[in-house]
Structure 1
Amino acid sequence: MMFKKSLLICLILINLNIGLAFCDNTKDNILILYQSNQSTDFSLNKTYKLYKLLSNFKNDIQSKDISDYSQGEISNYEYIFIFFETETLSINKYILDDIYLSKKDIFWIGPNINHLINEHKLENIDYNGFKKNFLSVYYKENNYKIPSSSNFTIITSDKSDIICNLYDGKYSYPYILKLNNLHFVSSFNLSTQLYFVLSDYLNDFFNANINTYILPFSITNSNDYIIKTYVTADIISSGNYSFIDKIFSSLYSLILIIVISFTFMLLGFNVLSVSNLFKKR
């Protein structure tokens, strides 16, 4: 009887641990829905640059053309990035509906957010079209010069948190804006300062605690002295573990549980043997 009970407990623990080891590990963390690009060299695309940037924070990333999106697909992911490089006449209605209803963190980067605003008559966001000729970007109490030729999609909202502002010499407009679960970035710009701002914001959002970035450049403020420098290609992230690391960790736990279970089973046998010995005497 003692053997059967011990064996049953051991089997339950093994099944439980296997379930924990493999539960949700096949689920991808990030989905990038991007606008198709005519460039034949994908490594030169901005989508690829965004993919590489996000890979600093998460290992599980899937990307697909936004026109191929299927209804309800974003429910399979924790974070959704919508990325457009140019203005389009229409967007897959399924993705607009799913974004509107979703409680997941949605990052909309670039133009065409007016389609979402118009489709669902969003009252807390005003679409202001495109604007360029900005002089600087203001982020975390620092002011950085930026190329004036860059083009930005502008939206405003009285209900939002302004993470970062663009300044044209007279007025300020949001570069990164957060409204509930929607994070809006007015442009994915590869210029040094703007790329740094977005990278730093994502690092804070994912709570990645990255000690070194793959960002081989220096950031200067309006007085042209260096305030941040990243010159290494090494990524050291606490708390982000690969799928293989998780598997080995789970297997270690499984082996430990088996050892403990059989130890208790052997102790049960010993106690039973001693008890029978006293009964015979």
Structure 2
Amino acid sequence: MKEIKNEEFGGERPLFASHGLRLDNVTVHAGESALKECSDIEAVNCRFEGKYPFWHVDRFRISHCTFTPGARAALWYSTALVMNDTLVEAPKMFREMDGVSLSKVRIPDAQETLWHCRNIICRDCEVENADYLFMHCTGIRIDGWRQKGNYSFQYCRDVEIRNARIESKDAFWNTENVTVCDSELHGEYLGWHSRNLRLVRCHISGTQPLCYADNLVLEHCTFDADCDLAFEESSLKAVVDSHITSVKNPTSGSIQAPSIGEVIIDGNVKAPADCKIILNDPS
């Protein structure tokens, strides 16, 4: 493998079509597409300042690097990325990729990041300003995750999340086959129009959670007091270990909780309208 060490590049495509290349302490200044159409690339202790540095790249490793705000849209149309211990200040990262492994990556401006990607692994990562994160992604595995940003995980499929704190309005809309365990989910309108959403030992806050959901499962979750008007038009099996402020017009299945402040079943309830309400503490 060829090595480039302690050098600086800039301009248009300075390392275009490189293969089998290791970059050590390299700075890529303003310009475009520094490593386009490359393969088998390793970057260590590097700094990327120009736009689109990694487009159409196959098999690459990035560690202890920094992507400045000028390196926007840095990784698109690529495969088999392993990134660790890296600071990503640039927005709109990771698009149309297959095989993304992130470990100890921090993204303070994660707006419109991770769109249309497949086979994603994230461990011990932190993202902020993460509006519209993970749009239309499939095959996501997350363990250790801190997120602030709205409208996340929309239209995602085949997702497993553990040990996360997610602050996101409208999270998990129109998702399919999603499991979240041992996590905190904070934000309004959680999981609307989802299919096969399963929440295990999660703490939930925010108004009108989990409505219009098909085959929703909750296992030993807890709700904040602001979780009102829950489960409207949802088919579900829910075991909640805390008081629920209010439930409105669930379609079918069962809801088990110690107590429920208000159960609203009115003329707008959808058939079969036979959801069972089970109180663990009838008093």
| TM class, shorter-length | under 0.3
Greater fraction of residues in helix: 1
After TM superposition, the score normalised by the length of structure 2 is 0.23
Greater fraction of residues in strand: 2
After TM superposition, the score normalised by the length of structure 1 is 0.23
